[in-house]
Structures are given as C-alpha cells and as structure tokens.
Amino acid sequence: MRLSCQEGLVPGECFADRIVNMEKYGFEGVELNGAFVLDDKAWAERKAVLADSTVRPSSTCGGYQARLVHPDPAERQATIDAVKKIMERAAEVAPGWGPITVPIFNRDPRIPDLSPYKSSHELEMELLVVMLREIADFGEQCGSVLFLEPLNRYESDSLKDQAEGAQIVREVNSPAVRLMSDFFHMSIEETNIAETLRQVGDVCAHCHLADNTRLEPGTGMTDFTAGFAALKAVGFDRYLAFECGLSGPPEEVLPRSVAYLHECMGSD
Ligand code: LER
Ligand code: MN
C-alpha cells in the first residue's frame, strides 16, 4: 500500500518543484491531471521529471469529458479516444497504470428509459460493459490499466455502488480494467467501508483518499484503520491517492496526514 497525491494539491512553480515537495511530504506516487497527459508539451515535461524521481505515476484523473455511456455516439467515441491516448502514454513510462474514468456525471444527458424492456440504469450498465471491453482489449495490448470509479448520489445516480462497479469489472474480466474505491464516495454510499473493501478487493486496484468532509484524511470521522486493515486482508498493494481539500497550508497538513495514515496502516 503506497500513498500518492494529485499533482494539483502540492505547491510548486512547475511540475518538478511539485514532485520535490511530494517526496518531501512522504508520497511515493503522483496522480497526474489527465489534461497534462493529453497535452504534448506538458506530458514531455512530466515524463522527463518522473524519469529522474523516485515518485512513480500511480494514475491520472480528469482532463477529458467522462462520457462512456452518453446517448450520443460521438461523445462516447471522444471519451474512448481520450482514454486510449492516456493509456498509450501511461504505458510509455511503466506498465500497470492509467486513467480513472466514471461512466457519466449527473449533469449529462442519460440513456432513455425503455421500460418495460429495460430501464435507463440497465441499459447504461450494459453499454458500459461494451465500452469497457474495447478499452480492455486496448489496455491489454499496450500494458495500461483503466480504473473505473463509482461516484456518489450527488454526482451520479448511474454508477455509485462499489459492489455494482465490481460486478461490471468482473464481467469485463480483463486485467486492463479494474475498480477504484474512493473513500469519500464510500462514506456517503456504503454502510461499512471496510466490509465493502473486503467484498470488492479482488478487483480493486486504486483508491482515492479524503475524509468524510472531503478534507485531508485525519480531519473527520472516516475509519481509515479499519479500511486499511480490510485492504491488507485482501492483499491490496497498490496506490491510495489523495483527492481532497486541505484544512490548512499544504506544507503543514499534507505531511501530518501522511504520518496519520501510516499510523492507520500499522507498520507499512
Ligand atoms: C469526482 O468526485 C471524483 O471523485 C473524481 O475522482 C472523478 O474522476
Ligand atoms: Mn475520486
């Protein structure tokens, strides 16, 4: 289990400065902004800095419109194109990591309800599996992984349940498509985060960390000790990336939160 952090959370005039600070604060990984992976100049800068650092890329987040189950085929294709480009670039640096995606946010148009044939939700999840199979084939060829992220009811009423996300990943049945578990979304949607992680642990390959208020871990009520014990029990050895607001200056609160999480992990 290793700690990662979204690049935008750490201060620095340029990416190289941010990475130096990340290492200083105790992070082993960085979650890149997908927009900077898609941009030629920003990607070249990131690749060069990472080649010289002990901080490893864990994942990318955002940077394109996440519309895998959008009703417009052109929008779905644009999402597939962006995801594949990020996967290809991720594999240039190392195998086994890549973009996070959500199927669709609430603000976007949804697949129409075709009851009594099929509900919107059934159609969306079926379409999601079809889309993910194409991504899985691509990821297996280039060596990259896509992380599927269930949200919470306020951001999407499509995929917001870890068990359902795990079921979809099992159906796609590829090492190139894995589930990711966001502690903030789980604190809203799951009755017991540790129990949930035990149940989805066979397909979970990435986590997002924030406390229940979405500030940095250690500021709220989420039981990270129980969550990490569950991850340990299922043999999770991947990255947990900070995706959160900060309760104070980053140089104070980020190292404090990292130290707190190491206590929660036990000896790790
Ligand atoms: C959005 O709330 C979120 O958790 C992001 O990780 C979505 O990619
Ligand atoms: Mn997240």
Distance CA 268, CA 265 (A): 6
Determine the distance separating the centroid of ligand 1 and the alpha carbon of 182, expressed in angstroms: 8
3-state SS assignment for residue 104: coil
Q: How far apart, in whole angstroms, are the C-alpha atoms of residue 136 and residue 177?
A: 6
Distance of CA 1 to the CA centre of its chain: 15
Ligand 1: which of 5, 67, 146, 182 to mutate, most ligand atoms within 8 Å of CB?
Answer: 182
User: Hey, where are the domains in the chain?
Assistant: 2-265
Nearest CA to 3 out of 25, 21, 35 is that of 25
User: What topology is assigned to 2-265 in CATH?
Assistant: TIM Barrel (3.20.20)
| pLDDT band per the 50, 70, 90 thresholds, residue 89 | very high
List, chain by chain if needed, residues with CB within 6 Å of any ligand 1 atom.
61-62, 100, 102, 149, 151, 155, 182, 208, 243
Phi, psi of 118 (to 5 degrees): -150, 145
Residue 268: pLDDT over 60: no
67 pLDDT exceeds 70? yes
Please name which of 252, 253, 241 lies closest in space to residue 55, comparing C-alpha atoms: 241
Q: What percent of the chain has pLDDT over 90?
A: 99
pLDDT score recorded for residue 267: 63
Instruction: Please name which of 126, 81, 137 lies closest in space to residue 103, comparing C-alpha atoms.
Output: 126
In the reported structure, the alpha carbon of residue 151 is separated from the centroid of ligand 1 by a whole-number distance in angstroms of 7
Residue 204: strand, helix, or coil: strand
120-141 pLDDT, tens digit each: 999 999 999 999 999 999 999 9
Nearest Cα neighbor of 83 from 37, 19, 50 is 37
